[in-house]
């Protein structure tokens, strides 16, 4: 059971590391839930890069 837990925890660590790195390096605008950005867009605020395909890929 210990080995299974270590494999499970290691796999989760790798996935979290990968998602954190692509968010930090590829599209920092994709960090967070996106609700404030959508509300700002609906109010007419232009926020470049928030709705880009790059941010969609990272999310």
Give CA–CA dist 30/36, Å, rounded: 12
Give CA–CA dist 41/46, Å, rounded: 6
Domain ranges of the chain: 2-58
Identify the pLDDT of residue 11.
98
Q: Show the CA angle centred on residue 21, arms to residues 19 and 26, nearest 5°.
A: 100
Query: Residue 3, SS3?
Result: helix
Give CA–CA dist 22/25, Å, rounded: 5
Q: pLDDT band at residue 3, thresholds of 50, 70 and 90?
A: very high
pTM tops 0.85: no
pLDDT digits (tens, 9 = 90+) for 22-40: 999 998 888 888 898 889 9
């Amino acid at each position: 059971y210990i080995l299974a837990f270590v494999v499970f925890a290691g796999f989760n660590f790798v996935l979290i590391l990968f998602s954190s790195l692509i968010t930090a390096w590829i599209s920092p605008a994709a960090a967070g839930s996106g609700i404030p950005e959508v509300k700002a867009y609906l109010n007419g605020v232009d926020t470049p890069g928030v709705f880009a395909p790059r941010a969609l890929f990272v999310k």
